[in-house]
Amino acid sequence: MMDLIKKNSLTDEQKAKEYLKNVYATIKHRDPHEQEFLQSVKEIFESLTPVFVKHPTYMENGILERIAEPERIITFRVPWVDDYGKVQVNRGYRVQFNSAIGPYKGGLRFHPSVNASIVKFLGLQQIFKNSLTGQPIGGGKGGADFDPKGKTDAEIRRFCQSFMTELSKHIGPDIDIPAGDIGVGAKEIGYMFGQYKRLQGRFEAGVLTGKGLGYGGSIGRKEATGYGTIYFVQEMLKDQDMSLENCTVVVSGSGNVSIYAIEKAISLGAKVVACSDSCGYIYDENGINVETVKQIKEVNNDRISSYLQFHPEAKYFDGCSGIWSIPCDVALPCATQNEIDQDSANQLLDNGVKIVAEGANMPSTAEAIRVFQSNNVLFGPAKAVNAGGVAVSSLEMAQNSMRMAWSFEEVDQKLHEIMKNIYNNCVTAAKDYGQEGNLIAGANISGFIKVADAMIDQGII
């Protein structure tokens, strides 16, 4: 009785906060060890109080409870035989998180760190990101704790075929459409597509994106996440009457996202002075040569340290986090989750960083984000900044359905428009809900509302 009286005397804001707190507590109680997933849930929930105050119907419909629980998680054994004839076993995952606005869509990650917490955090973020693109795609993610590093091509092929043998039972062009992520590029997608086709006995181009251009891939998909990241940064800068011209930029990683972010930033007049891999980073004060990075990573499959063989004037340092001690105007974490902690954030701040934009998924810890936001560093959150990749994946699906292929210019122009729209929608949503200038809040609110409304329209499912 006392509880009821207390509840009725709460303001709308207190009720919303109480609701968010209780749902978070339930999630934490259910999966207390899933650190990355809980981090991602918390970041999203923290933005949503004003939405629940304005629209209590989302509480009445249990939207949070439902949106934070995957519709389905598939876990499976992936047996394969290595080059020595030894049987190896990995664990595969697909989390089909939310299909309110379209079929599940999101990448596959092959990395030894992959576990339920990682695929769930990535899948949850993907729901909001995909909604922000304005494309009809739901959220999903998957992968395996397989380490492609040091494996031969034949081992990678056998692994991909075994992985797809199980995954094929759960995906399809109107069900769930995987793509690449860390450790999964066009080569792995090719092996998986071949196996899917063989098992189904038909050519269903729309079942995977990031395919090779010769069999249904979209021109521009390879570049899309990195280019999209820079298009988003351009919008952030424009709002401050600034441009990338003569900006000093630091980009972590040297994989798919990093390479094309570096390429686009350079083409717009920026000087990119550093990039990294999981062993260390290079610093080239004259500006990195992106063609050399491509040669090292896309062709030679070598460590970034080998950059010095081509450019002896550059410097190489062991370890990853030191890259954030390099002074820059724009910092682009494009490697992996939680790569910028509080100390790294403080170093960037002390060195005068103006913009941090997340090319990778959740690369900043909660503490690092607090450092940036409380010191007026403009902060672009991953869901918005790196949405260009999945947006062009959706364009690949559209081209596959129409059995046609657009030109690079057509795809790039659509990507540019999508990134501008995402930026504008984030700015507007943040303003409408009393959090002007907070792009994290804007991205979470804008992404949430579209999915929540679709969930209400479709009943309690």
Ligand X SMILES: NC(=O)C1=CN([C@@H]2O[C@H](COP(=O)(O)OP(=O)(O)OC[C@H]3O[C@@H](n4cnc5c(N)ncnc54)[C@H](O)[C@@H]3O)[C@@H](O)[C@H]2O)C=CC1
Query: In terms of Cα–Cα distance, which of 189, 192, 193, 251 is closest to 225?
Result: 251
Query: In terms of Cα–Cα distance, which of 397, 320, 391 is closest to 132?
Result: 391
Q: Is 344 in the site for ligand X (CB under 6 A)?
A: no
For residue 141, indicate whether it is catalytic.
yes
Per-residue string for binding with ligand X, 347-386, x by CB under 6 A? Answer: ------------xxx------------------------x
Shortest CB 240 distance to ligand X, Å: 25
State which residue has the least CB distance to ligand X.
255
Q: In terms of CB distance, is 179 or 331 closer to ligand AKG?
A: 179
Q: Is 438 in the site for ligand AKG (CB under 6 A)?
A: no
Q: Is 142 in the site for ligand X (CB under 6 A)?
A: no
Q: Is 181 in the site for ligand AKG (CB under 6 A)?
A: yes
How far does CA 168 lie from the centroid of its chain?
A: 23
From ligand AKG, ligand X, none, which one binds at residue 438 (CB under 5 to 8 Å depending on kind)?
Answer: none
Q: In terms of CB distance, is 59 or 385 closer to ligand X?
A: 385
d(CA 72, CA 13): 32
The residue whose two tokens read 């704790």 is: 145
From ligand X, ligand AKG, none, which one binds at residue 106 (CB under 5 to 8 Å depending on kind)?
Answer: ligand AKG
Instruction: State whether residue 330 is helix, strand or coil.
Output: strand
Q: Which of residues 2-21 bind ligand X (CB under 6 A)?
A: none
Q: Where are the alpha helices (DSSP H) in 31-115?
A: 35-47, 49-54, 57-60, 63-67
Q: Is 135 in the site for ligand AKG (CB under 6 A)?
A: no
| Residue 355 · residue 237 · CB < 8 Å | yes
Q: Is 336 in the site for ligand X (CB under 6 A)?
A: yes
- Quick one: which H or E segment has residue 367? helix 366-374
Could you tell me the two tokens for 396?
A: 């690949």
Q: Which of residues 88-107 bind ligand AKG (CB under 6 A)?
A: 105-107
Q: Is 133 in the site for ligand X (CB under 6 A)?
A: no
Q: Is 220 in the site for ligand AKG (CB under 6 A)?
A: no
From ligand X, ligand AKG, none, which one binds at residue 360 (CB under 5 to 8 Å depending on kind)?
Answer: ligand X
d(CA 335, CA 103): 27
From ligand X, ligand AKG, none, which one binds at residue 257 (CB under 5 to 8 Å depending on kind)?
Answer: ligand X
Q: Which of residues 70-109 bind ligand X (CB under 6 A)?
A: none
Shortest CB 66 distance to ligand X, Å: 25
- Listing DSSP states for 291-327 in one string gives HHHHIIIIIS---GGGHHHH-TTSEEEESSGGGGGS-
Instruction: State whether residue 69 is helix, strand or coil.
Output: coil
Q: Is 389 in the site for ligand AKG (CB under 6 A)?
A: yes
Q: Which of 361, 399, 435, 446 binds ligand AKG (CB under 6 A)?
A: 361
Catalytic residue among 105, 129, 141, 264: 141
| Residue 327 · residue 349 · CB < 8 Å | no
Q: In terms of CB distance, is 209 or 400 closer to ligand AKG?
A: 209
Shortest CB 209 distance to ligand AKG, Å: 5
Q: Is 188 in the site for ligand X (CB under 6 A)?
A: no
Q: Going by C-beta distance under 8 Å and a sequence separation of 6 or more, which residues neighbour residue 38? A: 27, 28, 31
Q: Is 254 in the site for ligand X (CB under 6 A)?
A: yes
Q: 120-140 burial, b for 16+ CB within 10 Å, e for fewer?
A: bbbbbbbbbbbbbbbbebbbb
From ligand X, ligand AKG, none, which one binds at residue 249 (CB under 5 to 8 Å depending on kind)?
Answer: none
d(CA 10, CA 350): 42
Catalytically annotated residues: 141
- Residues of the shown chain interacting with ligand AKG in the complex, contacts defined by CB under 6 A: 105-107, 126, 129, 179, 181, 209, 361, 386, 389-390, 393
